[in-house]
Structure 1
Amino acid sequence: MIPGLGMFCEAYFVFAVGNLSAVWKAEYPECWKKHTTCSQSLSNSITYTQVCGIIFGQLVLGFFADRIGRKWGSVATAGTMVVGGILIVASSGPTDRALWAMFTAVQFIFGIGVGGEYPVASASANERAESSAALSKRRGETVVLVFSMQGWGNLVNTAVIIAIMAGFRLYAPPYDSYGMEVTWRLSYAIGLIPLISILLYRIFRLRESAVWQKKREALQAMGGAKASGVQWRKFSLLMRYYWHRNFGTSMSWFVWDFAFYGNKLFQSTFIKIINPHATVIQILEWTLLNSAVALVGYYFAAFTIDKPWMGRMRMQVMGFAWMFVLFLICAVHYDQLSTNKYIHAFQFLYYFSSFWGQFGPNATTWLLPAELAPTEVRSMCHGFSAAVGKAGALVAGVVFGLVDNRTKFWISAFCGLAGVILTVITIPDVTSLDLREGDRRWLAILDGHHDMYHGDAVKPKNLSLIERLLGYGRLYKPHADEQYSGSKADEVAMAAAKGVEMEVVDEKAATKA
């Protein structure tokens, strides 16, 4: 829960925009409904500005977290979110236009912190599992449980808004203007409590990642490649030997976010189909139900992702396949499903798709980019994939605003099909792979002897279809790998691994004491 509080806070604030849009339409109708005091582009730009900030943070903070470490990367993301969150609560102006102009601008600042939280939290969770004997076989579970706090953030935000509205007895129009304004400002202010708490915890209590620190120290001690950052040579080698992995993780995240955020934007429209006369609080209650269904999906993902019969790739294929089938049914039978006779079937299909989205690509797209990259560039690779994914959300916001409701389901269905194809071709299943083997292979590549590494990282079962077609699997020779273990690059990898193991032993001794 504690490592996941950053994801909780980012979701609490990010999804608040969608949850509060009905409140703002009721409180500021001249700006949000009639568009006489504000242009429609201003109200629409809140989401776009936030997503742009997220993309910027994913790329920039993801890059720097590999240089300054996981602790100070985590402090930077939380600190940026605190500044942005305070400015969100304090947004004001003499006119509606001035108020929402400030609100839109500070969403970019908050988005930078949110963007940085993605790669830093994922890399830190992977490395915490790698450095713990108890968690090494539950790496996927550990990372996904951290990510599941995002689902709690969305759920709690919706519940807080409903509770505040109920406290002011805002059950039906006409709504009290003062009560509506307090509702949205107080809901954001409540979100600042865990956000400031996690910032203080990270500054004073959070320890640096043992995996990142020991591998950096080992590289410096061996006099090998500089550990101070990602040089152009490293970047070119990363693109040469890992381009298919980065392409697969980024594009599968793109099609997932395109469908996921497109449907999030469409959520209020869908609720209006179920209940055309829904009040603001009723819309939020339907949203709360959807959030609860989605949250169950996170836990199904966490507790099955490390099972040999499931794994990462199968889970992602399964989730995308269910998306394709469910949204295809909605698209083909849209006219019938939107009638009173079949509206409950429509409701089931829509919410069931939320479950499979979390029990599938939402969990795996967050986990895989950090698992498939070496420690030295893990945060940067995750940030790149996440940024491409958020670009999908940005494109969805534009495209879904230009097409009719039925077409939205057609688009979402074929996003699911595209996700299945991308996963099968480009995503390896590394469920049983020790991430230290990935680092050994990377150091051999840096050493100029990629063909001398013959360990488990090139074992065919741990490679994607495209990697097997490129011939990487032919390098797997367990007996030859024993001879390679005396090389300079392997000494660096082994020294780092030994340092991490000593860190774990010291931690156990301290716990006993």
Structure 2
Amino acid sequence: MPLRVLSTLDAAKTQYYHFKAIIVAGMGIFTDAYDLFCIPPITRMLGHIYYKSNNSRIQPAAEAAMLVVALLGTVIGQLVFGWLGDHVGRRRVYGFSLMLMIAGSIGCGFSMGTTQARVLASLGFFRFLLGLGIGGDYPLSATIMSEFANKKKRGAFIAAVFSMQGIGILASSIVTMVVCRIFGRKDHSTNDADIAWRLILMLGVVPTALTYYWRMMMPETARYTALVELNVLQAARDMGRVLDVPLSQIAEVDLVPPSPPSYPLFSRKFFFLHGRDLLACSALWFLIDIVFYSSNLCQSHIFDIKDDGSAFDAAFKVAQFQAKVACYFTIPGYFAAVFLIDRVGRLRIQVVGFVLMAGLYFFCTYLYIKDSRGVPFVMYGMAFFFANCGPNTTTFIVPAELFPARFRSTCHGIAGAAGKLGAMIGAAGFFLISKGGDDPNRDEKKTGIEVILITLGGICVAGTAVTMLLTRETMGISLEDNEKEYEGESVQGKCFP
């Protein structure tokens, strides 16, 4: 018999605390996106400040380093904080990851040095620190939301948390444009631009810092307390405080203490029961992040946004383009996922998303080869829509649902770390192939973009195959179905029909 407190959580009606949890957890994802995606316009500013001898364009290697160093920190953060989430507790380390994000963002704004190399090295260090916090927030936010949610709307709740990524991308673009317009009214001085990019980086911490108190006031999840710490009474008390349910309804009548785990992480039995799930989640997140981050972080190069004005004009153009993509395609894609995820299932929207993305990238390649004017904006944007109403969202959700409570945060962190490795490959590989968009040989640059687009399409085809062969459906299945210890008791989701 399942514990009453967990059954009550699964059946609980949607109420105020669910929405509060979405906002509190979502603010971490918001800051993640703000800090990761504000860097493309900022690198344009840095080019005007520190690379005037190079046509005011930052060197491709330096730009790639600014992208990759934060992603490297994210990889480490996901692994470390994911493990801590299962061994120390979700709530206990949740605030620490947020503090790292705040410290990293503020530190980026205070990057100092007497030469361009020292300033960029300082910025790189703080972006690595920022990445550690960002990495920690991914498994903790997803796990906490999945463990607080009811069974019927669990996918929508986790997708709503992840949709804050789109809001963060838009916010970073809006803040950049506003700062550029305010500072751009003055004479275009290097000192003004040097202050502006620092201000943009530091402003991202404001909404997250405002939610720090509520994050610290959240109780530990009932599933962690009951199934990992084996304290069922405390789990009932915690849920009685935050949910609109009387304690008498969730307290156990004849309490039988839960049995301690029978097998450890990465044991033979773990791989027998959960190895395929972990492989599928990690492989799919790796594939989608190659596509998502390379095309998102480097879109200003794909569309060859001209850089022939001041530092503020250059950054404004890149931020404006990012804002258009976010408003027209990225954010609607997230909202569509929230609406569909618990109606049609994770696997179906993941497969449809991969298939349509592949078709769009292949068609964009064909048009790019036939027409030198470049990639059609609408078709390129629709690829973002289907990514977010598909694999970019589902790869965040499914690892928080497939694994037992004592492994959930760790496995989500492993899958997320695989994704960020893909993001590093995608971002760095883009600059290697396209020469950062600055190669004087127009034909060579055009060929590089063609190679990138057709590669992205091929990766989406691979994602479709992995989804259909390895991934399980988790819609409508209680998280406790994955607590079964023996093969005959395991009641996991079905593979794609």
The one-letter code of the counterpart of 2:352 is: M
Deviation for aligned residue 1:277: 6.1
Kindly report which structure 2 residues correspond to 1:176-195, keeping only aligned pairs within 5 A, or say none.
176-195=189-208
Q: Which of 278, 282, 302 does residue 250 from structure 1 map onto?
A: 282
Contact map agreement 1:370 1:378 (CA 8 A) in 2:
yes
Q: Which of 259, 268, 291 does residue 326 from structure 2 map onto?
A: 291
Q: Which residue of 2 aligns with 1:496?
A: none
Q: Which residue of 1 aligns with 2:218?
A: 206
The one-letter code of the counterpart of 1:107 is: R
Distance 1:276 1:435, change over 3 A: same
1:271, 1:464 → 2: CA distance?
39
The one-letter code of the counterpart of 1:239 is: F
2:179 is equivalent to residue 145 of structure 1: no
Q: Which of 197, 210, 222 does residue 257 from structure 2 map onto?
A: 222
2:169 is equivalent to residue 154 of structure 1: yes
The one-letter code of the counterpart of 2:179 is: I
Deviations 1:199-255, CA, capped at 9 Å, x for gaps:
33323x22111221122343798373369xx845x6432212111111111111111
Q: Which residue of 2 aligns with 1:79?
A: 99
2:28, 2:291 → 1: CA distance?
24
Deviations 1:264-315, CA, capped at 9 Å, x for gaps:
2431112326x686842222211110122201100000011000xx100001
Q: Which residue of 2 aligns with 1:112?
A: 132
Q: Which of 108, 121, 125 does residue 141 from structure 2 map onto?
A: 121
2:145, 2:29 → 1: CA distance?
12
Contact map agreement 2:264 2:270 (CA 8 A) in 1:
no
Distance 1:398 1:44, change over 3 A: closer
Q: Which residue of 2 aligns with 1:394?
A: 424
Distance 1:7 1:33, change over 3 A: farther
Task: Pick 1 or 2: higher relative contact order, CA cutoff 8 A, min separation 6.
Answer: 2
2:494 is equivalent to residue 463 of structure 1: yes
Contact map agreement 2:40 2:318 (CA 8 A) in 1:
no
Q: Which of 57, 77, 80 does residue 57 from structure 1 map onto?
A: 77
Q: Which residue of 2 aligns with 1:3?
A: 25
2:229, 2:122 → 1: CA distance?
45
3-state secondary structure, aligned to 2:342: coil
Deviations 1:383-439, CA, capped at 9 Å, x for gaps:
000011111111122322233011010101001101100000111111121212222
Contact map agreement 1:313 1:423 (CA 8 A) in 2:
yes
1:223, 1:298 → 2: CA distance?
38
Q: Which residue of 1 aligns with 2:342?
A: 306
Q: Which residue of 2 aligns with 1:12?
A: 34
Deviation for aligned residue 1:40: 5.5
Q: Which of 405, 429, 435 does residue 449 from structure 2 map onto?
A: 405
Deviation for aligned residue 1:60: 0.8
1:283, 1:312 → 2: CA distance?
33
TM-score (norm 1): 0.79
Deviation for aligned residue 1:360: 0.6
3-state secondary structure, aligned to 1:272: coil
Deviation for aligned residue 1:263: 1.0
2:66 is equivalent to residue 46 of structure 1: yes
Contact map agreement 2:347 2:472 (CA 8 A) in 1:
yes
Q: Which residue of 2 aligns with 1:489?
A: none
Deviation for aligned residue 1:33: 5.5
Distance 1:39 1:154, change over 3 A: closer
Distance 1:31 1:148, change over 3 A: farther
Distance 1:349 1:243, change over 3 A: same
Q: Which residue of 1 aligns with 2:364?
A: 330
2:345, 2:120 → 1: CA distance?
45
2:59, 2:340 → 1: CA distance?
47
Distance 1:276 1:91, change over 3 A: closer
Q: Which residue of 1 aligns with 2:402?
A: 372
The one-letter code of the counterpart of 2:333 is: G
Deviations 1:470-504, CA, capped at 9 Å, x for gaps:
xxxxxxxxxxxxxxxxxxxxxxxxxxxxxxxxxxx
Deviations 1:172-200, CA, capped at 9 Å, x for gaps:
xx833233222211112211222322333
Q: Which residue of 2 aligns with 1:384?
A: 414
Pairwise CA RMSD: 2.4
Q: Which residue of 1 aligns with 2:440?
A: none
Distance 1:400 1:305, change over 3 A: same
2:349 is equivalent to residue 356 of structure 1: no
Contact map agreement 1:65 1:73 (CA 8 A) in 2:
yes
Q: Which residue of 2 aligns with 1:282?
A: 317
Q: Which residue of 2 aligns with 1:477?
A: none
Distance 1:138 1:31, change over 3 A: farther
The one-letter code of the counterpart of 1:136 is: K
Deviation for aligned residue 1:105: 1.2
Distance 1:199 1:219, change over 3 A: closer
Contact map agreement 2:351 2:390 (CA 8 A) in 1:
yes
Contact map agreement 1:334 1:406 (CA 8 A) in 2:
yes
The one-letter code of the counterpart of 2:325 is: N
The one-letter code of the counterpart of 2:49 is: E
Contact map agreement 2:85 2:93 (CA 8 A) in 1:
yes
Deviation for aligned residue 1:25: 1.6
2:427, 2:136 → 1: CA distance?
22
Q: Which of 112, 123, 143 does residue 92 from structure 1 map onto?
A: 112
Number of matched pairs: 433
TM-score (norm 2): 0.82
1:105, 1:369 → 2: CA distance?
30
Contact map agreement 2:24 2:214 (CA 8 A) in 1:
no
Q: Which residue of 1 aligns with 2:458?
A: 414
2:110, 2:428 → 1: CA distance?
29
1:109, 1:414 → 2: CA distance?
33
Q: Which residue of 1 aligns with 2:9?
A: none
1:193, 1:400 → 2: CA distance?
32
Contact map agreement 1:81 1:110 (CA 8 A) in 2:
yes
Gaps of 5+ in 1: 130-134, 469-513
The one-letter code of the counterpart of 2:29 is: M
1:127, 1:56 → 2: CA distance?
24
Deviation for aligned residue 1:334: 1.1
Contact map agreement 2:293 2:423 (CA 8 A) in 1:
yes
Contact map agreement 1:81 1:195 (CA 8 A) in 2:
no
The one-letter code of the counterpart of 2:420 is: K
Deviation for aligned residue 1:43: 4.0
1:245, 1:87 → 2: CA distance?
38
